[in-house]
Amino acid sequence: MASLRNGGNKDQFRMKQENELKSLLTDQQFEASDNREGLLAQAKACANNYALATEGIAVISDFQNNECHIYSGKFGQTIMNLPEYMVDRNSAFEDIIFCHAKKDDLIERHVLELRFFNFIKELSINDKTNFSASCLLRFYGNDVNERVEMLHTTRYLSCSANGSVLFGLCTYIPYPISHSRQTGIIVNLLTGETVGRDIYETSDRKILSRRQLEILSLIAKGVPSKQIADRLNISINTVNRHRQDILATLKVANTAAAVEIALRMNLI
Protein backbone atom coordinates (compact mmCIF):
# COMPACT_ATOMS: atom_id res chain seq x y z
CA MET A 1 0.00 0.00 0.00
CA ALA A 2 2.83 2.39 0.85
CA SER A 3 4.45 1.89 -2.56
CA LEU A 4 1.11 2.57 -4.25
CA ARG A 5 0.72 5.79 -2.28
CA ASN A 6 4.27 6.83 -3.14
CA GLY A 7 3.62 6.15 -6.81
CA GLY A 8 0.45 8.22 -6.62
CA ASN A 9 2.30 11.06 -4.91
CA LYS A 10 4.99 11.04 -7.60
CA ASP A 11 2.34 11.24 -10.31
CA GLN A 12 0.66 14.13 -8.49
CA PHE A 13 4.01 15.95 -8.23
CA ARG A 14 4.70 15.41 -11.93
CA MET A 15 1.24 16.70 -12.82
CA LYS A 16 1.74 19.78 -10.67
CA GLN A 17 5.15 20.39 -12.27
CA GLU A 18 3.62 20.08 -15.74
CA ASN A 19 0.91 22.58 -14.81
CA GLU A 20 3.50 25.01 -13.46
CA LEU A 21 5.53 24.69 -16.66
CA LYS A 22 2.46 25.24 -18.82
CA SER A 23 1.62 28.41 -16.91
CA LEU A 24 4.76 30.06 -18.33
CA LEU A 25 2.90 30.32 -21.64
CA THR A 26 -0.79 30.34 -20.73
CA ASP A 27 -0.39 33.09 -18.08
CA GLN A 28 1.30 35.56 -20.43
CA GLN A 29 -0.14 39.06 -20.82
CA PHE A 30 -1.88 38.77 -24.20
CA GLU A 31 -2.89 41.73 -26.33
CA ALA A 32 -5.87 41.95 -28.66
CA SER A 33 -4.97 41.31 -32.30
CA ASP A 34 -7.05 41.92 -35.45
CA ASN A 35 -5.32 39.15 -37.41
CA ARG A 36 -5.24 36.52 -34.68
CA GLU A 37 -7.68 34.17 -36.42
CA GLY A 38 -5.74 34.46 -39.67
CA LEU A 39 -2.50 33.59 -37.88
CA LEU A 40 -4.17 30.61 -36.21
CA ALA A 41 -5.46 29.36 -39.57
CA GLN A 42 -1.94 29.60 -41.00
CA ALA A 43 -0.50 27.73 -38.01
CA LYS A 44 -3.09 24.94 -38.30
CA ALA A 45 -2.41 24.58 -42.01
CA CYS A 46 1.31 24.31 -41.26
CA ALA A 47 0.70 21.54 -38.72
CA ASN A 48 -1.65 19.66 -41.02
CA ASN A 49 0.86 19.76 -43.88
CA TYR A 50 3.64 18.55 -41.58
CA ALA A 51 1.59 15.54 -40.46
CA LEU A 52 0.69 14.70 -44.06
CA ALA A 53 4.27 15.05 -45.31
CA THR A 54 6.01 13.10 -42.55
CA GLU A 55 3.21 10.80 -41.30
CA GLY A 56 4.22 12.13 -37.86
CA ILE A 57 2.33 14.24 -35.33
CA ALA A 58 2.02 18.04 -35.24
CA VAL A 59 0.39 20.08 -32.50
CA ILE A 60 -0.63 23.74 -32.53
CA SER A 61 -0.83 25.16 -29.01
CA ASP A 62 -3.10 28.19 -28.69
CA PHE A 63 -1.78 29.67 -25.47
CA GLN A 64 -4.28 32.52 -25.22
CA ASN A 65 -7.34 30.26 -25.50
CA ASN A 66 -5.59 27.37 -23.67
CA GLU A 67 -6.46 24.79 -26.30
CA CYS A 68 -4.55 22.67 -28.80
CA HIS A 69 -5.10 21.26 -32.28
CA ILE A 70 -3.52 17.86 -32.97
CA TYR A 71 -2.85 16.55 -36.47
CA SER A 72 -1.67 12.99 -36.93
CA GLY A 73 -0.25 11.06 -39.86
CA LYS A 74 -0.25 7.28 -40.14
CA PHE A 75 2.43 6.90 -37.49
CA GLY A 76 0.42 8.62 -34.76
CA GLN A 77 -2.76 6.91 -35.85
CA THR A 78 -1.11 3.48 -35.67
CA ILE A 79 1.11 3.83 -32.59
CA MET A 80 -1.12 6.01 -30.40
CA ASN A 81 -4.59 5.51 -31.90
CA LEU A 82 -4.87 9.23 -32.62
CA PRO A 83 -7.43 10.52 -35.13
CA GLU A 84 -6.29 12.51 -38.15
CA TYR A 85 -7.40 15.67 -36.34
CA MET A 86 -8.63 16.48 -32.89
CA VAL A 87 -8.93 19.58 -30.72
CA ASP A 88 -8.57 19.70 -26.95
CA ARG A 89 -10.48 22.68 -25.59
CA ASN A 90 -9.21 22.10 -22.06
CA SER A 91 -5.45 22.40 -22.55
CA ALA A 92 -2.94 24.10 -24.85
CA PHE A 93 -0.70 21.08 -24.44
CA GLU A 94 -0.83 17.58 -25.89
CA ASP A 95 -1.41 15.61 -22.70
CA ILE A 96 -2.86 12.77 -24.77
CA ILE A 97 0.63 12.33 -26.26
CA PHE A 98 2.67 12.96 -23.11
CA CYS A 99 0.86 10.15 -21.31
CA HIS A 100 2.64 7.72 -23.67
CA ALA A 101 6.12 9.07 -22.78
CA LYS A 102 8.54 7.62 -20.27
CA LYS A 103 8.30 9.70 -17.12
CA ASP A 104 12.08 10.12 -16.83
CA ASP A 105 12.19 11.62 -20.31
CA LEU A 106 9.58 14.19 -19.34
CA ILE A 107 12.13 15.60 -16.88
CA GLU A 108 14.51 16.20 -19.79
CA ARG A 109 11.71 17.88 -21.69
CA HIS A 110 10.94 20.01 -18.60
CA VAL A 111 14.52 21.29 -18.56
CA LEU A 112 14.45 22.01 -22.29
CA GLU A 113 11.10 23.84 -22.22
CA LEU A 114 12.17 25.95 -19.22
CA ARG A 115 15.52 26.74 -20.83
CA PHE A 116 13.96 27.50 -24.21
CA PHE A 117 11.33 29.85 -22.78
CA ASN A 118 13.87 31.83 -20.78
CA PHE A 119 16.23 31.98 -23.76
CA ILE A 120 13.48 33.23 -26.08
CA LYS A 121 12.20 35.72 -23.50
CA GLU A 122 15.37 37.80 -23.88
CA LEU A 123 15.20 38.01 -27.68
CA SER A 124 13.56 40.73 -29.77
CA ILE A 125 10.05 40.08 -31.08
CA ASN A 126 11.35 39.51 -34.61
CA ASP A 127 13.86 36.90 -33.39
CA LYS A 128 11.57 34.90 -31.11
CA THR A 129 10.24 32.74 -33.94
CA ASN A 130 13.66 32.02 -35.44
CA PHE A 131 14.60 29.21 -33.05
CA SER A 132 13.46 25.70 -32.23
CA ALA A 133 14.26 23.30 -29.39
CA SER A 134 14.54 19.54 -29.86
CA CYS A 135 15.11 16.45 -27.76
CA LEU A 136 14.56 12.72 -28.00
CA LEU A 137 11.70 11.17 -26.05
CA ARG A 138 10.85 7.51 -25.60
CA PHE A 139 7.21 6.62 -26.08
CA TYR A 140 5.20 3.48 -25.51
CA GLY A 141 2.76 2.44 -28.20
CA ASN A 142 -0.48 0.53 -27.80
CA ASP A 143 1.65 -2.45 -26.77
CA VAL A 144 3.33 -1.42 -23.50
CA ASN A 145 6.36 -3.48 -24.49
CA GLU A 146 6.72 -1.50 -27.72
CA ARG A 147 9.06 1.46 -27.24
CA VAL A 148 9.60 4.10 -29.91
CA GLU A 149 12.23 6.85 -30.00
CA MET A 150 10.75 10.11 -31.23
CA LEU A 151 12.29 13.47 -32.06
CA HIS A 152 10.26 16.14 -30.25
CA THR A 153 10.67 19.69 -31.58
CA THR A 154 9.16 22.90 -30.26
CA ARG A 155 9.04 26.35 -31.85
CA TYR A 156 6.98 29.50 -31.42
CA LEU A 157 5.07 30.69 -34.48
CA SER A 158 3.49 34.06 -33.68
CA CYS A 159 3.99 36.82 -31.12
CA SER A 160 1.86 39.80 -30.18
CA ALA A 161 3.18 43.37 -30.09
CA ASN A 162 4.23 43.06 -26.43
CA GLY A 163 6.27 39.91 -27.11
CA SER A 164 3.87 37.33 -25.69
CA VAL A 165 3.81 34.08 -27.66
CA LEU A 166 0.45 33.35 -29.27
CA PHE A 167 0.98 29.94 -30.86
CA GLY A 168 3.46 27.11 -30.53
CA LEU A 169 4.16 24.20 -32.87
CA CYS A 170 5.31 20.85 -31.48
CA THR A 171 6.18 18.00 -33.82
CA TYR A 172 6.94 14.32 -33.31
CA ILE A 173 8.57 11.93 -35.75
CA PRO A 174 10.23 8.51 -35.23
CA TYR A 175 13.95 8.84 -34.61
CA PRO A 176 15.55 5.44 -33.96
CA ILE A 177 19.02 5.46 -32.38
CA SER A 178 21.12 2.55 -31.23
CA HIS A 179 23.57 4.07 -28.76
CA SER A 180 23.89 7.22 -26.66
CA ARG A 181 20.94 9.58 -26.25
CA GLN A 182 21.01 13.10 -27.61
CA THR A 183 20.52 15.92 -25.13
CA GLY A 184 18.17 18.79 -25.88
CA ILE A 185 19.36 21.47 -28.29
CA ILE A 186 18.25 24.93 -29.43
CA VAL A 187 18.68 25.72 -33.13
CA ASN A 188 18.62 28.94 -35.16
CA LEU A 189 16.21 28.09 -37.98
CA LEU A 190 17.57 30.84 -40.25
CA THR A 191 21.18 29.69 -40.16
CA GLY A 192 20.88 26.04 -39.13
CA GLU A 193 23.40 26.68 -36.37
CA THR A 194 23.05 25.12 -32.94
CA VAL A 195 23.02 27.69 -30.15
CA GLY A 196 26.13 27.20 -28.03
CA ARG A 197 25.70 26.04 -24.47
CA ASP A 198 27.60 29.11 -23.29
CA ILE A 199 24.89 31.33 -24.79
CA TYR A 200 21.79 29.71 -23.32
CA GLU A 201 23.54 28.92 -20.06
CA THR A 202 23.97 32.68 -19.67
CA SER A 203 20.17 32.84 -19.63
CA ASP A 204 20.07 29.84 -17.28
CA ARG A 205 22.20 31.66 -14.72
CA LYS A 206 19.65 34.48 -14.53
CA ILE A 207 16.82 32.16 -13.55
CA LEU A 208 17.71 32.05 -9.84
CA SER A 209 19.25 34.76 -7.69
CA ARG A 210 22.61 34.29 -6.00
CA ARG A 211 20.90 33.77 -2.62
CA GLN A 212 18.49 31.23 -4.10
CA LEU A 213 21.43 29.32 -5.58
CA GLU A 214 23.18 29.33 -2.20
CA ILE A 215 20.10 27.93 -0.51
CA LEU A 216 19.42 25.34 -3.21
CA SER A 217 23.04 24.18 -3.06
CA LEU A 218 22.72 23.62 0.67
CA ILE A 219 19.39 21.84 0.20
CA ALA A 220 21.09 19.56 -2.33
CA LYS A 221 23.65 18.65 0.36
CA GLY A 222 20.85 17.72 2.77
CA VAL A 223 21.26 20.71 5.08
CA PRO A 224 18.04 21.37 7.07
CA SER A 225 16.33 24.76 6.86
CA LYS A 226 17.32 25.74 10.43
CA GLN A 227 21.00 25.13 9.70
CA ILE A 228 20.72 26.97 6.39
CA ALA A 229 19.26 29.95 8.24
CA ASP A 230 22.07 29.90 10.81
CA ARG A 231 24.80 29.47 8.21
CA LEU A 232 23.52 32.35 6.03
CA ASN A 233 22.53 34.52 9.01
CA ILE A 234 18.92 34.84 7.89
CA SER A 235 15.60 33.81 9.46
CA ILE A 236 14.07 30.42 8.84
CA ASN A 237 11.03 32.21 7.40
CA THR A 238 13.31 33.80 4.81
CA VAL A 239 14.72 30.38 3.96
CA ASN A 240 11.21 28.99 3.51
CA ARG A 241 10.21 31.95 1.34
CA HIS A 242 13.24 31.36 -0.87
CA ARG A 243 12.33 27.66 -1.07
CA GLN A 244 8.87 28.52 -2.41
CA ASP A 245 10.28 31.07 -4.84
CA ILE A 246 12.74 28.46 -6.16
CA LEU A 247 9.93 25.95 -6.74
CA ALA A 248 7.85 28.59 -8.53
CA THR A 249 10.74 29.72 -10.73
CA LEU A 250 11.81 26.22 -11.76
CA LYS A 251 8.18 25.15 -12.15
CA VAL A 252 8.49 22.09 -9.94
CA ALA A 253 6.47 20.62 -7.08
CA ASN A 254 9.12 19.91 -4.43
CA THR A 255 12.74 20.61 -3.53
CA ALA A 256 13.94 17.18 -4.70
CA ALA A 257 12.68 18.02 -8.20
CA ALA A 258 14.21 21.51 -7.93
CA VAL A 259 17.61 20.01 -7.13
CA GLU A 260 17.35 17.58 -10.06
CA ILE A 261 16.40 20.33 -12.52
CA ALA A 262 19.12 22.66 -11.21
CA LEU A 263 21.75 19.93 -11.53
CA ARG A 264 20.73 19.19 -15.10
CA MET A 265 20.95 22.89 -15.91
CA ASN A 266 24.36 23.14 -14.17
CA LEU A 267 23.05 25.79 -11.80
CA ILE A 268 24.49 24.09 -8.72
Q: For position 2, what pLDDT does the model report? A: 45
| Least-confidence region, from 116-120, 175-179, 199-203 | 175-179
| Integer Cα distance of 33 and 176 in angstroms | 41
CA-based torsion, 98, 102, 103, 105: positive or negative: negative
Any idea what the Cα angle at residue 202 is, between residues 25 and 252, rounded to 5°?
Answer: 40
CATH number for the domain whose boundaries are 209-264: 1.10.10.10
pLDDT greater than 70 at residue 52: yes
Prediction pTM value: 0.77
What SS3 class is residue 7? helix
Q: For position 105, what pLDDT does the model report? A: 84
pLDDT greater than 60 at residue 213: yes
Element (H, E) at 237: helix 236-250
CATH number for the domain whose boundaries are 2-203: 3.30.450.20
Domain boundaries, the chain: 2-203, 209-264
**In this predicted model, what pLDDT tens digit does every residue of 63-98 receive, in sequence order?**
999 999 999 998 888 888 899 999 999 999 898 888
| Integer Cα distance of 168 and 94 in angstroms | 11
| Integer Cα distance of 204 and 236 in angstroms | 27
**Mean pLDDT confidence for 27-45:** 90
